[in-house]
Amino acid sequence: MSANSRLTIAAHALAWIGLHQRQGNEVATSEQIATSANTNPVVIRRLLGELRRAGLVESRRGVGAGWSLTRELESMTLLDVYEAVEPGPLFAMHRASPDPGCVVGYGIQPAMQGIYEGIEETLRRELARVSLEDVLRNVLAAPR
């Protein structure tokens, strides 16, 4: 299984737009952000669409088209971003029901569900502690 990078790329896009706006630019294009993230602009547009539905960014069409933040980075948390781009639970149960006649098959889902709920609660609490401003500050402080 590969790791999911949607949260990381979405945070990258928001931090990039925030920095771009601080430098006096009104909007950022998906092509510019994609170059920074080294990914396809379509990937960026899809994520930005999800962030727009969550109210974190807005888009402008026509002349001067692009994306801008709807609020300051200080007021956006990684939890806001996570909830926008990662619908559904962090962990899933079996695709098909395990054998209820087997002791492990019968008890595995209830046992794992409690563990997963605790992990997800911890994840959400930690993501809520970190603003996108914190992320950008750490990015700018990283040695080059």
What pLDDT digit, counting tens, does each position of 87-143 carry?
A: 888 888 888 999 999 999 999 999 999 999 999 999 999 999 999 999 999 999 988
- Cβ–Cβ < 8 Å for 13, 139: no
Q: Please, what are the domains in the chain?
A: 6-141 (1.10.10.10)
Nearest 10 degrees: CA dihedral of 141, 142, 143, 144? -110
The model's pLDDT over 112-121, given as tens digits with 9 standing for 90+, comes to 999 999 999 9
Is-contact 30 48, C-beta < 8 A? yes
